[in-house]
Chain A
């Protein structure tokens, strides 16, 4: 899969570690909690605490740092964009550091930019870590169980989970197919990598049309195959893997909750003691 080698988000790395063995519900809830806290945090100290926690989790899960960084690569331009926007077009006033034509860069804006950049990084990092340590199947299982109580108010927990399972199952297959189509088109002189952006976007049409047609055909065949195996929705369905919330999950939730609480305490409160 040459064209898509950079794609890490959502690519589970099967390793046996204490983190990997946690109940997926624990991992999902912990990630949700961390994401929420990241939005609520107002101070650098809070981000630092969350960073330490994430690095510790990544180390405990034995994720290669290179792998993690590769996952952050697609984020690079977004990060640059956000930081530049914040630096040059942030709030007026504050302590000017240097001036560049009509643009004044202030210390406050620079700090803000660093803060937002760091936060963005953490947001992506936390979801990347989660997907690296949770197999797609576990993730879907966990989500289904977590959503089950909401089934009474009309949340189609099982259907959502099944849709996700199938999406996850077919992502690699469709990527392979996309690459095959691209190569076939390139062999006949198509250009995907040169030209202006609109040209390149137009060049994607002969890729996307067969890809979608193929996906619909697959969906049709898969539906028949699922019916042939007695699939009839979530009712009466049991699972081979039964999720168990064990003591290690309690520990993990406690640690994450504690770190989240610390991250939310403003540094002023620390200095007060």
Chain B
């Protein structure tokens, strides 16, 4: 895993953003309360936090689906008040696989975003073909989406975003409704895109195993960033995480348990290999 490149100018900057959901009559509770965040081109960032911590609200600010009540969000240095640019640059895949597919045929759905951008027909065709190849769904191009598995539907959604040539892909709990196999297929594609196509990846997730694979983790609580750093750094703060009703991934907890029993586990071990090596080496 690469460290977040800090010298490059950020792709998305979030500056002191406040957001209050308009409530019927009274003043709503703030969902975001003064949030600062930079997202670098090509980095893989996980945003975690308990329910109601503002994760999804933040995600919707990244491509101007929501506009901040105060503060500003810039995509590629520009103010996304003219939202269309931001929405082309920052693609989003949502939680429910069924509620984001518009068309009754896979390839038509992948084309939807490009059609909205007003691209010429031949260009759309080429982009759709490529996007379907990248997510490995060429075979299912003419299928109706309701015959697809959850994981395949999310891959269709990713392809639809990819065809718009974004610079950042936001997965807003995109794997939470999927079975383990589906989760795996979606995450493999997302990480591959981040690695090979230098697409910035923002994972809004409850799954700590997914977050552990990111370059950087940001922990939200009550609309603020309360903790951030590399996965190893963040997961080392177990007590703080627990107070936020979060738990480090199982492997981290296992590593800690082994360390308590005297096994020489390297600090910040997030994968299975260092644990195995430590066990073989013995206490």
Chain B interface residue count, CB cutoff 8 Å, equals: 41
B100 and A222 within 8 A (CB): yes
Q: How far is the CB of B193 from chain A (nearest CB, A)?
A: 17
Give the interface centre of B87, B99, B105, B118 by most chain A CB atoms within 10 Å. B99
A137 and B104 within 8 A (CB): yes
Q: Does B88 contact A (CB under 8 A)?
A: yes
The segment from B90-98, B181-189, B217-225, B262-270 found at the interface with A is B90-98
Q: Does A240 contact B (CB under 8 A)?
A: yes
Q: Does B115 contact A (CB under 8 A)?
A: yes
Give the interface centre of B87, B108, B128 by most chain A CB atoms within 10 Å. B108
Q: Bound complex: CA of A224 vs CA of B146, how far in Å?
A: 20
A237 and B115 within 8 A (CB): yes
Q: Which B residues are CB-close (under 8 A) to A169?
A: 101-104, 145
Q: Bound complex: CA of A108 vs CA of B3, how far in Å?
A: 89
CB contacts under 8 Å to A, within B143-164, are 144-146, 160-161, 164
Q: Does B117 contact A (CB under 8 A)?
A: yes
Closest to B114 in A: A240
B121 and A229 within 8 A (CB): no
Q: Does B84 contact A (CB under 8 A)?
A: yes
Q: How far is the CB of B190 from chain A (nearest CB, A)?
A: 16
Select one of A14, A168, A221, A238 contacting B100, CB under 8 A. Answer: A221
Given A136-B104, A238-B124, A228:B99 Cβ within 8 A: no
User: Which B residues fall within an 8 A CB radius of A?
Assistant: 60, 63, 65, 84, 87-88, 91-92, 94, 96, 98-105, 107-108, 111-121, 124-125, 128, 142, 144-146, 160-161, 164
9 more CB-based (< 8 A) A-B contacts, given A225-B100, A240-B124, A240-B128: A136-B104, A137-B104, A165-B103, A229-B102, A229-B161, A229-B164, A238-B119, A240-B108, A242-B121
User: What are 8 residue pairs bridging A and B, where the CB atoms are less than 8 Å apart in the complex?
Assistant: A218-B96, A218-B98, A221-B94, A227-B65, A228-B91, A231-B116, A240-B125, A242-B121
